Amino acid sequence: MKRYEALAEDIAQAIRTSVLKLGDRLPSVRQASASRGVSPSTVFEAYYLLEARGLIRARERSGYFVIAGTKTLPPEPEFASRPGGDSTPVDVSQLVFDILESTRTRDVVPFGSAFPSPLLFPLARLGRSMVSAIQKMDPWSTVDDLTPGNASLRRQIALRYLVDGLHVHTDEIIITNGALDALNLCLLAVTRPGDAVIIESPTFYGALQSLERLGLQAIEVPTHPREGIELDALAIALQRHRPKACWLMTNFQNPLGSLMPDEKKRALVELLTRHDVPLIEDDVYGELYFGSKRPVPAKAFDTKGLVLHCSSFSKCLAPGYRVGWAAPGRYAQAVARLKLTTTLSASAPAQAALADYLGKGGYDRHLRQLRHTLSVQQAAVMQAVVRHFPPGTKATRPNGGYFLWIELPGKVNTLEIHRQALSMGISMAPGPMFSAQRGFTNCLRLNYGHAWDQRAEVALSTLGRLVSACREDSKK
């Protein structure tokens, strides 16, 4: 992270924690330059970045002032969910299919989309890498790399682990057809039909669909909107149900956006190690952080090979290439064999293109721009929620990713709101699609990974009116 970005993040954190409040004047450029030991140009760059994120504004001849703060943002949900403690057969696929199928047109405002805008990615640069890589491709690599994947790409991934302080051997990394393929292979490696698997509540609907397809039982454990799964509740579930695995997102969880602190990740891994329960860690949003450094995955605290870490390039670089990977610890051989007997291999040209792109540099520069864009768009959507949604609405404040979890006041049915909004060309993701028990009927997920413009403003205003109308109808 560059100096101006680090300074901007420090100030943003001070605003988030109310150290700097709405209306406060920031130090002058000269004062900030002297106190931080940086050049005036660095301070200007930091202030420009904060302006772009909608956090501060310059007043002529007066300096820079905070224009966003706790009073201009919706309050956060305060508690974790409280689902029932029994294991649950999963039956959500039809609901998920119906909702996702309805959002596949460009005419719909994509607040319900699972993906950020494809315009945020360096697709032309990746295309040139693909042409270059294919021209140089060793014909024998199409056989030699079949199951584990492109050797150069696996080395590049291992290097990124090393930068984050993790020592993951290249031979442990298995390239897959996106992260969901990696997650499914890992789930297959550690479970059998009828087994119970611990998931967060709410959870990623893809996890629910995977459990349903494999005939597995879901154990929903309360998950805090800021810090992730509740460890006390997890300990009880481990003792009571003796599950065969956990499937969790520790970094910028979908749909909550929660980020588990490092010490909590360490405690999580220690708890699962005592029970000898493997952790399937879905870490597809880890690169999309807004802070000063990438949050480490739970795998960083694994000493027994129990963490099966999965990620991909789909959310941060190349959405259409469908290239992900698993680093499955002690289960690497089992996952590799399952890969061999199912999809065999990910696309060789796509792998070669990504290896070429990563090897030539530029990835981190792209990520910095992507994170900046997402953080600016998050601020815009959060302030619009305050403007347009009814009083009492709560929203998470993720420090990364591109999802907001909205908790609506009163008795509202977001499935009904979804149907009404879709008829007006607006999509959103209703809460029940994130729960095996079809809970969270008064919640929804908003995607802020697409451009914030007048069309989006009008759509969110319309969504707010629908919420208010539904709330009034429920009182009758």
Domains of the chain: 3-72 (1.10.10.10), 88-119+368-475 (3.90.1150.10), 122-363 (3.40.640.10)
pLDDT score recorded for residue 239: 95
- SS3 of 285-340: the string is CCCCECCCCCCCCHHHHCCCCCEEEEEECCCCCCCCCCCEEEECHHHHHHHHHHHH
Instruction: State how far Cα 467 lies from the chain centre.
Output: 25
C-alpha to C-alpha distance for 16 and 11, rounded to whole angstroms: 9
The residue behind tokens 């002032």 is: 65
Residues 6+ apart with CB under 8 A from 10: none
Phi-psi region of 367 (alpha: psi -120 to 50; beta: other; left: phi over 0): alpha
Closest CA to 112 of 104, 121, 120, 122: 104
Name the strands in the sheet holding 429-430, side by side, starting at the edge strand that comes first in the sequence.
Answer: 394-395, 403-407, 443-447, 429-430
| 430: preceding bond cis by omega (within 30 degrees) | no
- SS3 of 213-280: the string is HCCCEEEEEEEECCCEECHHHHHHHHHHHCCCEEEECCECCCCCCCECCHHHHHHHHHHHHHHCCCEE
Q: What is the dihedral of CA 416, 420, 422, 426, to 10 degrees?
A: -110
The answer to whether the Cα torsion of 298, 299, 305, 310 is positive or negative is positive
Helices (H) and strands (E) in the chain, counts: 16, 17
Instruction: State the 10-residue block means of pLDDT for the chain, 476 residues long.
Output: 83 83 88 91 88 78 78 76 64 74 79 93 93 83 79 96 93 95 97 96 93 94 95 96 97 97 97 98 96 92 97 94 96 95 88 94 92 87 92 93 95 92 93 89 95 94 93 67
**Count of residues making up the chain:** 476
pLDDT score recorded for residue 225: 94
* Cβ–Cβ under 8 Å, residues 449 and 402: yes
What burial class does residue 220 get, using C-beta atoms within 10 Å of its C-beta: 0-12 exposed, 13-18 middle, 19+ buried?
A: buried
